[in-house]
Structure 1
Amino acid sequence: MSSSPPPASAPARSGRMSRRGSGNGPQPYDFRRPIKLSREHVRMLQIAFETYGRNAGTLLTTRLRANCNVNLLSVDQVTYDEFINQLSNPTVVAQVSVEPLPGSMLLEMPMVSTMAAIDHMLGGPGGPQPERPLTDVETPLLEDLLKRLLGELRYGFDRLVDISPKLGPIEYNPQFVRTQSPGDAVVVAQFEMKIGDIESTASLCLPFNTILPVLQTEAHAAELTPAERAALDRVRRNLSASLASAPIDVAVRFRGIRMRTDDIIKLVPGDVVPLGHPVALPLAVTVNDATFAHAVPGNQGARLACLVVPPPSKESPA
């Protein structure tokens, strides 16, 4: 008689996303989402989020008058559905507009940290608090705290793009938040948040299509070292020299005509096809069907040749 399989071990923190690449073995690859953030793009985001985390920790310490820390854990690319399904319920999910960028960002803060922060702002000692809906007095305190945190986000992204985050609606059930389609790619930054003795994992979610153009522009505008600039100039000179000496096919053409398919099939050696090219009109000098000069036919010794002439004026006979 076979024994039943052992129960799966419970995750260390319910409703939280695990860091990618922390386990051993192969990682799944979704061919529906082949576009991935490059290592350079991830590093740029890490710098921005680390700056935000340090400033956010300082802000919380000053505002709550308690020892607070916000440290970046990971930056991952997932689908919107994966992000929402990994959030606990209830939790604070605030929609944030990030003008001038399109789309909306999500700022998620666990209820355990939210209630501890509000208790500190009301003069309490913090510590474990009941998870319940906020009162009419507590809601403005939360909104003011989130607006201050968004101000630090603007400073964190200052080197990438000048954004103006604005707080939007706040939801407590993640399933009610639908700013993206379930399969849309998003970039999720997870933070270890400590407010006094309370520890939790907060997160920021940005639409992939919103942040990718910013990263690509910043990567092209990155400051180069003198050695990198010299290498780039050397490559450009070599490329220009190679292109200047590359052979290409050049054609000198008469004006084209249109013929019926059956007339072309009936052609035999000796037939004469009138081209309709005016004698006074120069021929077109083309490369890959693009006309770049005009010429008149002639010869140089025993070889056919052409003489490049100015382009015909608009008054030339058609």
Structure 2
Amino acid sequence: MTVRSSPPAGGPPVVYDFRRPMTLAREHARVLEVALGTFSRQWANQLLASLRVSAQVTLESIAMCAYEEYISSLPARTTMVVCAVGPNRRPGLVQFPLDTSLTWVDHMLGGRGVPDSVPERDLTEMEQLLIGDLMGKVLADLDYAFSGIAAVDAELRRIQHTPQLLQATAASTAVITATFTILVEDHSVTATLMLPAEGLLASLRERESVETRSAEEVETERMQRELLDRAVQQSPVEVAVRLGPIPIHPREVVHLSVGDLVPLHHPSALPLDVVVGDRVLAQAVAGTNGSRLAGLVVNVKENS
């Protein structure tokens, strides 16, 4: 079932598919926002060092969606830096306009880097090497930005230009996407980052479970647990020694009278059951203790 939520002020309606809930928890989004904010500042520093012109990278938004939804939103021709991330080496992606790549290459080769001065085309092998060297440093900063959340260990694999031909993962796979605005001198463009959601979300959940209580709170909880255990162990319970049960018809029970004999079918050599409630804890034989009947335990049930 797909429904449309009420349109937010100043924006179009948002489609939400209940079959594929792709929503980030607010706490997770906040942690990712901090990490990606650090990444954007480091990215700007790498551009400044490589292009030797003023550069600024600003994080605009974070979302979770299906891979198919993300890849369909990209332009037909663009620059896609494909990388492998995480322990399972799942695919990640950094994307920015193709003409931006050409402008950056022009800057790195000592040119003026005028936007749209070079006809849009695929990067040559030499240009891919230059962009790859720059993005290798940027991906290293991605590792640094996420060091407190998960081991990203991003490794550049290749550069591609056609999103429709990139089958990086299954269409329904959940991914984390971030949108950035890159300002180089006076020219502003939009870039995106895609990371697999599975590993990041698992790390964020583990991060939530890390002990955040003070030593005093931990000690108080330990003492309370000990008191509870002691109280349970010292609480009295009723223990019974019984013969084995026998099946009997209701009509026989109804017609019981004084003097009737009820056969128990319990062999005299078979021990009796020692029970608490309905649980058999041990077995015992009948005996005496002074003037009282007693049960001598001869066998204790394991895992009782």
TM-score norm. by structure 1 comes to 0.71
- Contact 1:99–1:163 at 8 Å: present in 2 too? yes
1:37 aligned onto 2:58 = no
Q: CA-to-partner distance for each residue in 1:95-127, whole Å, 9 max, x for gaps?
A: 211131452111112213211111111111112
- Cα distance, 1:256–1:120 mapped onto 2, change above 3 Å: farther
SS of residue paired to 2:206: helix
Q: Is the 8 A contact 2:150 2:200 kept in 1?
A: no
Residue-pair matches, total? 281
Aligned mate of 2:121, from 132, 150, 162:
132
Task: Name the CA shift for 1:305/1:31 in 2 (closer, same or farther; >3 Å).
Answer: farther
Give the conservation status (yes or no) of the 8 Å contact 1:54–1:69: yes
The one-letter code of the counterpart of 2:105 is I
1:255 is displaced (CA, Å) by 10
Q: Name the counterpart of 2:257.
A: none
Letter in 2 for 1:167: L
- Aligned partners of 1:190, 1:305: CA distance in 2, in Å? 79
Are 1:280 and 2:268 counterparts? no
Matched residue, 1:98: 85
Q: Equivalent pairs: percent with the same residue?
A: 28
Q: Does 1:75 align with 2:66?
A: no
**Alpha carbons of structure 1 residues 204 and 251: separation in structure 2 relative to 1, 3 Å:** farther
Rounded Cα–Cα distance in structure 1 between residues aligned with 2:178 and 2:268: 68
Match of 1:6 in 2: none
Q: Give the alignment partner of residue 113 of structure 1, picking from 100, 107, 116.
A: 100
What is residue 9 of structure 1 aligned with on the other side? none
Offset of residue 207 of structure 1: 1.8
Quick check: 1:49–1:72 contact (8 Å CA) kept in 2? yes
1:166-218 deviation digits (Å, cap 9, x = unpaired): 11132211111122222222110111112223211111111222211111111
| Mapped partners of 2:52, 2:273: distance in 1 | 85
Give CA deviations for 1:123-154 in whole Å, capped at 9, x if unaligned: 11112133211112211111111111111111
Cα distance between partner residues in 2 of 1:179 and 1:161? 21
Q: Distance between the aligned counterparts of 2:165 and 2:195, measured in 1? A: 17
Range with greater deviation from structure 2 (65-74 or 174-183): 174-183
- Give, in angstroms, the shift of residue 221 of structure 1: 1.9
Letter in 2 for 1:77: M
Which deviates further from its counterpart, 237-246 or 71-80?
237-246
Equivalent position of 2:36 in the other structure: 49
> What is the CA–CA distance in structure 1 between the aligned matches of 2:22 and 2:275, rounded to whole Å?
45
Distance 1:255 1:111, change over 3 A: farther
Contact 2:41–2:57 (Cα < 8 Å) also in 1:
yes
Distance 2:213 2:81 in 1: 41
Distance 1:183 1:153 in 2: 25
- Superposition map of 1:99-248 within 5 A: 99-129=86-116, 130-221=119-210, 224=212, 226=214
Q: What do you get for the CA RMSD once the two structures are aligned?
A: 4.1
Cα separation, 2, equivalents of 1:211 and 1:154: 13
- Report the Cα distance in structure 1 between the residues aligned to 2:207 and 2:88, rounded to whole angstroms: 15
Give the partner amino acid of 2:191. A
Instruction: Give, as a single letter, the amino acid of the residue that structure 2 aligns with 1:32.
Output: R
SS at match of 2:139: helix
Q: Which residue number in structure 1 is paired with residue 256 of structure 2?
A: none
| Unmatched tracts of structure 2, length 5 or more | 1-6, 254-260
State the shift of 1:162 in Å: 2.6
- Structure index of larger Rg: 2
Cα 1:180–1:230 change in 2 (3 A) is farther
Name the aligned partner's letter for residue 144 of structure 1.
Answer: D
Kept in 1, the 8 Å contact 2:271–2:284? The answer is: no
Q: Does the 8 Å contact 1:109/1:201 carry over to 2?
A: yes
Taking the aligned partners of 2:244 and 2:164, their CA distance within structure 1 comes to 65
| 3-state SS of 1:90 partner | coil
- In structure 2, what residue type is equivalent to 1:179? A
Distance 1:22 1:220, change over 3 A: farther
Q: Which stretch of the first structure deviates more once superposed, 58-67 or 304-313?
A: 304-313
Letter in 2 for 1:294: A
For residues 264 and 26 of structure 1, the distance between their equivalents in structure 2, rounded to whole angstroms, comes to 70
